[in-house]
Structures are given as C-alpha cells and as structure tokens.
Structure 1
C-alpha cells in the first residue's frame, strides 16, 4: 500500500507541475470561479488577527493569500506537492504585496510541523486527490491546536458540475476509458452526502457541518471554455492524448454543440457546486 501511495503521489506531483503554467495563464478566471468556496472557508474559520494558518494543497495560492491579507500579526503557510504551483503562489503574493505568506513543498501525509502548531487549516479542493484521505486528515488534525478549526471544499456530484461533465462526459462517450478503481483519487470522490462529515467524525473532530456552495465559471465564449479545459484539466488532456486527430475533432465539435445548446450567444457562464465541510479539534 505504501508503494502504491508513493506512486500516486509522484504521479500527482509530476502532473501538477506540468500543468502549473496553464494554471498561471488562467489564474484570474479560475480564482474568480473558485472564490465563493474560498470565501465560505474563510467565513467558517472566523480568524483572529494573530492566527497562524496552514493552507493545504494550496496550488496558486488561494484562499491562503486572501487569508494572509486579513491577518495583521498572523501569517499563512501554504503547502503543496508541486513546486511549480507554489512558484505561481509566490509570484501572486509579491504582486499583491503580501508579506505574511510562506510556501513549503511537502506532502499532506507527512506534514513537517510540530503537534499543535496552527490555529486554523484551510484546504480548498485537495481532499479528492489525497491518496490516503484518513492519513491526510490525521496529519492535519495533529498539527492543529486544541480548539483549532479546519474547513475544506470538495466538488459536489457530477450532475451539479456541468463544467466538468460537458467535456469529460463527451470524451467518455467517444473513447473507452477504463474506470478508476473504487476510492481512487478523482474529482467526485468526496461528493457523496455525508462522506466528508463521516471522515471528520472518524478523525475526532467536533462541531462538524457541511453545506453547499455554488459558483459560476464565467468563460463567456465556448473557445475560452475549451482552451481552459485543455490547459488546466489533466484528465481531459490525458484522455485526448489517446485519440487520433479525427476523434479529437469529433469530441471538440460535440462539446461545442453541447455548450452552445445550453449557453447560446456567447454567454458561457456555467454553474458549479461544491460542499464545504467544517470541524474543530
């Protein structure tokens, strides 16, 4: 099992580093898209000015950067597996003049911090991809101070996330992709109602809550949507790389038709849905 986890971790590190330039390119659009989930996390954490906050699976820096900008004497340490993503986060911090923000490349299953270090932990869209979610949460709980708070966002069910299924559903219709093993990392792995609250409960957290937060992917045009998905969505790129040019063209045509049918006149503003889960140590 350890070897399998290590293999998944290495593959994820490679993938996120490879896609870090795409995430940098689309940072403004994607961060606007994911902002409601980050805002809900921040609201639930209800931070004090001097809190020390850990942001796990931080990617290009949010919600850690926004949290840091709210803290007068506290600070944020943002961690991620991929140094390429954290380099973008550091650039973003510099651009915004945020000084109380540090980044650290590390794995959530082996956090390099002492017990009871942090007042709060945020983790936006990381859990679905952790090879061992229980171990990850155990580590987060370990480094959280007694009474400390944790809030995380995961994607809701596919039916509420057309921005993913429009492309991946079309790919799956046209290319035979073997389904991942049950419980393998993936977008909708944590979507089942009560799944995350049960995980939090098993970790010994209390005052647990789960609520839905919606967002909008404001691409405006179908071209922007298609290019975005091909620049930041690893499963899309991986699947299309297995198709010949004719099949790629067919898939693209069908995605365009599907999106245009639902969002005519270049008004491609696609609804999304996430679950935000909160708990206290």
Structure 2
C-alpha cells in the first residue's frame, strides 16, 4: 500500500475513533437523519431471508442492524476501520436483541474474506472517506458472489446540503483553510453525477443505477444544530480548533443568523440530498 494512502487511512481511523463518543451521544438524531438513504439501499438490495450481507463503513451499525433484523436465516457482518464505532454498533445490536450480527475491524481495501462470499453489500456514506475508492469497490466486488448486489450512498452537491454548508461555508469565510490535496477524503468528493457509476463500471459491475434520495436533519433548534455539528463533524472541529475564542463566537453567531434566516419559524429541519448507487456482479 502506498505511503500516502496508508497515512490517510491511519488519519481516518484516528478521527473516527476520536469522534465515536459524539456519534453515540447523537445516535438517535443522526440515524433518523440517515434512515432514508439506508432504506433505499435495503430496497435496492432486495434481500432474501438466508442472505449473507456485508455492511462496509458501518459506523454505529446502520443499515446493517436493520438488515439483520429482517433476515430470519441470514446474517450481517459489519466492518469499519474504527473499533470505537463498532463497539457502539455491538451495543446497539445487544440493546435491540439482534443476534445475527457480527463486527470486524478492517480496511475496506484489504477485506479479510474469501472471493465470492457475500450475497449483497451495503455501504452508507463510506466512499468519500476511502483513500483509494477504486481499490475499495474492487475489493467489495471480489468478495461478492456472482449475481450479488451492491448499493452505496454518497452526499450530493453542496448546494443541496445546507446542513453542511451553513457551518463549513461560514468557517471558510472567516478562517483561511488550505484546500485539501486532490483526491483527499471529503464530504463532497463523490458528489458529481455519474462519478460513482463510473467507479462501479471500472470494477466490472453491471446493471448500474444512480438516483437521488432526500432526507431531513430534524434539529428543532439552532442550538442543537450547532452542538451536533461540533460533536460529530470532524472538519468543523478541526477548523474551529485553529480559531481563538473571539473568532469562534463570531462564527457561531453568523451560523445562527444564517440558519435562523432560512428557518424564521424557529423549527430547524434541514433538507439534505444524497445519491444512491447500485450495481450487480
């Protein structure tokens, strides 16, 4: 593995482990927010009861847990780079009494499974963080059975995701943040229409489709929005850590103004947009 890719992977692992307590704290709100994308992935996979399913970049467990709860004779193996996130997934499985659910800490570019193992693969919002996206989809394709299905979601363009741009746009306006190197992990790295479909095609997948799915981040108040983003969004925390207290307060007041202007009734329910991509081996 190239040195640069290894470095990015290690940074990702460290970041997600560091933020796992925040994801646990906000699990209910974030899982409600991301549910439409998980539901669309599940719909496209059209699973049978005895299927063996791989959920990649599983985080705190979804959509793998929902899939497992619907498989009477099948099983879900959930993988992630960050053991801290998978510990929460295990806890969530236990709390929900889901037994056919297993977690494995591993890198998507080096999956520890034999060729042609899985009937289906789900991956909700993982690709934009993978150092080598083509290698990732090739690995997923390798462990997929012939005729097996894969579905993933990535964020759509910034203009359709005010929940990110409200805070990151304000930070960028106030703080000089060097642009990330080309191809570095980032929220909108996969947002160009057809980008993921092309990646799937390069990996040899067929019957590829790509469609938009919208969601709503139901914060209710601007305070909740601000606190959530400071607990779960790594780029926000990284950027604000470079600001002094005066600058932080300025950014916070500008974000509050922006959000309250958009939702003058005070009910902060922010629209989001994702792309869900499907393919078959």
- The residue that corresponds to 2:191 in the other structure is 191
Comparing 175-184 with 82-91, greater Cα deviation is found at 175-184
- The residue that corresponds to 2:34 in the other structure is 34
CA drift of 1:265 comes to: 3.1
Q: How does 1:143-154 map to 2 (within 5 A)?
A: 143-154=143-154
In 1, the alpha carbon distance for the partners of 2:123 and 2:98 equals 20
- The residue that corresponds to 1:112 in the other structure is 112
Q: How does 1:221-240 map to 2 (within 5 A)?
A: 221-240=221-240
In 1, the alpha carbon distance for the partners of 2:110 and 2:199 equals 18
- The residue that corresponds to 2:83 in the other structure is 83
- The residue that corresponds to 2:19 in the other structure is 19
CA drift of 1:235 comes to: 0.1
**Other structure's SS at 1:204 match:** coil
- The residue that corresponds to 2:167 in the other structure is 167
- The residue that corresponds to 1:138 in the other structure is 138
- The residue that corresponds to 1:242 in the other structure is 242
**1:157-211: CA deviation from partner (whole Å, max 9, x where unpaired):** 0000000000000000000000111221100000001100000011110000000
Segments of 5+ residues of structure 1 without an aligned counterpart are none
Segments of 5+ residues of structure 2 without an aligned counterpart are none
CA drift of 1:266 comes to: 2.4
- The residue that corresponds to 1:251 in the other structure is 251
In 2, the alpha carbon distance for the partners of 1:248 and 1:261 equals 20
**Other structure's SS at 1:116 match:** coil
In 1, the alpha carbon distance for the partners of 2:136 and 2:149 equals 15
**1:52-89: CA deviation from partner (whole Å, max 9, x where unpaired):** 00000000000000000000000000000000000000
Q: Note if 1:203 corresponds to 2:203.
A: yes
In 1, the alpha carbon distance for the partners of 2:158 and 2:124 equals 18
CA drift of 1:262 comes to: 0.4
- The residue that corresponds to 2:47 in the other structure is 47
**Other structure's SS at 1:99 match:** coil
RMSD value, Cα: 0.6
TM-score relative to the length of structure 2: 0.99
Comparing 174-183 with 45-54, greater Cα deviation is found at 174-183
**Other structure's SS at 1:121 match:** strand
**1:33-58: CA deviation from partner (whole Å, max 9, x where unpaired):** 00000000000000000000000000
**1:236-275: CA deviation from partner (whole Å, max 9, x where unpaired):** 0000000000000000000000000001232000000000
